[in-house]
Structure 1
């Protein structure tokens, strides 16, 4: 596994031509939007989402500058990844499994 990449490497820089073209675009005329009917959702294409339906985010990686123990081999390392409920080093991580 290679070194960490900067997020800047994934961003597409906007050229001066693109920013000038964006500045030159005139705003569209404001149009009147009719409100949705009573008891009817404003956007019928989007299903309603209940907050209980959303699965909370889980960590997949941990870093400790003082080092921590790999739960599989016992080696002290700075970087560890989640695997089967424990944190393991890069050598012990099974990258084929989700």
Structure 2
């Protein structure tokens, strides 16, 4: 069985070794420490997540705009209330509360329950 090896053997030379080699060859190499590399990766992940959230929000807005194009009928009135009282349209009784029944505003006694 072969001898145990470290991960560094598989990962290749460290960043500082690469920089030293590149300097001797005349190439420019940006040396990035692990903390900086992690910060850059985290920023890229955040940007990707933000882009996904923005796309989801845009799709939701587009969907709601499509729903707005449909005509929605407003709710109908089913009852009214007047503190000083008002006459029932069927029996002329003075009441505070009237309900809509067949297009008329009527008292509780005249309402078809």
After TM superposition, the score normalised by the length of structure 2 is 0.43
Higher relative contact order (CA 8 A, sep 6+): 1
Higher relative helix content: 2
For the pair shown, the structure with the greater C-alpha radius of gyration is 2
